[in-house]
Amino acid sequence: MHERSAHQPAEDAAPATDRAPWTILVLLCVAQFMVILDVTVVNVALPSIRTTLHFAPQDLQWVVSAYVLMTGGLLLLGGRMADLVGRRRVFLTGLVVFTGASLASGLAPSAATLIASRAAQGFGAALLSPAALSIITTIYRNEQRTTALSAWGAIGASGAAVGVLLGGVLTTWFGWRSVFFINVPVGLVAAALALRLVPAARATLRSLLELDLPGALTVVSGLAVLVYALQGTTTQGWGSARTLILLAISGGLLAAFAAIERGGRRPLVPSSIWHVRSLVSSAAVMLGTTGILVGTFFLNSLFLQNVLGASALETGLAFLPLVVVIGIAAHVGPRLLMRVGARIVVIGGLALIAAGDLLLSGAPAHAAYATDLLPGFLLLGLGVGLTFVAISVSAMSEIQADRAGFAAGLMTTGHELGAAFGVAIFSAVALGSAVAGTAFIHGYSNGAMAGALIALVLALFAAVAVPTFRPIAGHQITMH
């Protein structure tokens, strides 16, 4: 265990007994569910948003990307704040910011305002999410911890899928603004309950001064420019001056971030963390898997509505079987972990994802949902559910309590940046300037094929990098 510095606040108090109440887990998972939901809940609403706020087709992805980029870019800062300033304090601050920005998103009068408020939502999520996961990691022990982290992994997988379904229902019945308004009452109730249920810890002013703000600013700027460069390839091409200049700027900003981290007293990413194999490998798999999942949702939402003529509600319902299968996989996942270990579960899950995207790549212009899309959705959901559960448990297996916030931030960073890059890459591969017609059909097939290839590469990576971690009743073991 690393020794705590004299000025660092104490851990948020854990329950005195070996078993902590499940009510805390439910509360934190509800808050996290909102965060994950908002990655994809807008996908089905995008056509309506585009019409109302007069978005250009190539700019529409920023409704998703502004949120996930800000979240992913600042999650490490949020995790560090949770360790230094107090987990409950950071959780509540993030929840308030997220809820207020959700209200602003629902009231947005223009495209620019919506993108700005979505970025503010992402900032709130960057504080909320790692604080919540670090609370779970430090409060629950032994088999409770495995169960809690499995539930957290299931939220990461199912939240994105439920977002598409709920987005369809809300957009059809109440309009696209309701997909943001729904967060407001949930956020207010969650904040009130957190004050009662979640234990607090003290913070000092010196703790705040230790935050690596220059590092956070350079990394989020570099990632934003990178996604902007990828987004522009749909119209400008990969070899254009615009793309090359933006890629160079992004590379410079990310190189500056690396230099800041090497020379800083309190780096956002401590160099020692790269030696924690379970965490680093799991975060990498999280990034790639989320990219496939969110990119697939993005493309299929457009395919169902713009090619097959489905309504927003029909599009949301089309993803319902995928949601159900993710839930089944999340239930089965912990049992498989105990029998065969994390590595086998991750490889198997990624193989299922690859098979699902491969089936989707063959969907014709006049696709029948039951035969051309549903089988792929089911395989994709099963694979994502298994993979997310396995890496969520494996990632935290070697993390000590004083690094729980950072580890949680790194894992959620992988999730959010995966969403950002998934939308950007799938858009670049599939869309061009067309969101309907023959050109889109061809692009859709290429996008699904790209998802299958990414899943296979990740499976090979997992075979050599993910530890053979197997939780057992009462304690956990890691076999390298």
For residue 65, the Cα-to-chain-centroid distance in whole angstroms is: 12
What pLDDT, on the 0 to 100 scale, is given for residue 48?
Answer: 86
Q: Per the domain annotation, does 176 fall within a domain?
A: yes
For residue 366, the tally of other CB atoms under 10 A from its CB is 9
Q: Per the domain annotation, does 10 fall within a domain?
A: no
What pLDDT, on the 0 to 100 scale, is given for residue 19?
Answer: 74
Range of the domain at 202: 22-211+266-479
Total structural domains in the chain? 1
User: b/e for 446-480, b at 16 or more Cβ within 10 A?
Assistant: ebbbbbbebbbebbebbeebbbebbbeeeebebee
Per-residue pLDDT tens, the chain, 480 aa: give them: 333 433 344 444 444 346 777 888 888 888 888 888 887 788 778 888 888 888 876 677 788 888 888 887 787 788 778 877 788 888 999 999 999 999 999 999 988 899 999 999 999 998 988 888 888 877 877 677 777 877 777 776 677 777 878 888 888 899 889 999 999 999 999 889 888 888 776 655 556 667 778 888 888 888 888 877 877 776 777 778 888 899 999 999 989 988 888 877 777 777 777 778 888 888 899 999 989 988 888 888 888 888 888 888 888 889 889 888 988 888 888 888 888 888 899 999 999 999 999 999 988 888 899 999 999 999 999 999 899 888 887 887 776 666 666 677 778 778 778 887 887 788 778 766 556 666 678 888 888 999 999 999 999 999 998 877 666 544 443 433
Q: Per the domain annotation, does 12 fall within a domain?
A: no
What pLDDT, on the 0 to 100 scale, is given for residue 10?
Answer: 40
For residue 199, the Cα-to-chain-centroid distance in whole angstroms is: 26
CATH number at residue 329: 1.20.1250.20
What pLDDT, on the 0 to 100 scale, is given for residue 305?
Answer: 84
Strand (E) or helix (H) holding 428: helix 404-430
Q: Which of 139, 160, 159, 157 is nearest to 148 (CA)?
A: 139
Alpha-carbon Rg for the chain, nearest whole angstrom, is 21
Q: Per the domain annotation, does 237 fall within a domain?
A: no
Q: Per the domain annotation, does 229 fall within a domain?
A: no
Q: Per the domain annotation, does 143 fall within a domain?
A: yes
What pLDDT, on the 0 to 100 scale, is given for residue 5?
Answer: 39
Q: CA–CA separation, 244 vs 472, rounded Å?
A: 50
Strand (E) or helix (H) holding 108: none
Q: Which of 122, 131, 160, 126 is nearest to 11 (CA)?
A: 131
pLDDT tens column, 353-387:
999 999 999 888 888 999 999 999 999 999 998 99
Q: Per the domain annotation, does 243 fall within a domain?
A: no
What pLDDT, on the 0 to 100 scale, is given for residue 416?
Answer: 75
Residue 18 burial (10 A CB sphere; 0-12, 13-18, 19+): exposed
Total residue count of the chain as it appears in this document: 480
Q: Per the domain annotation, does 7 fall within a domain?
A: no
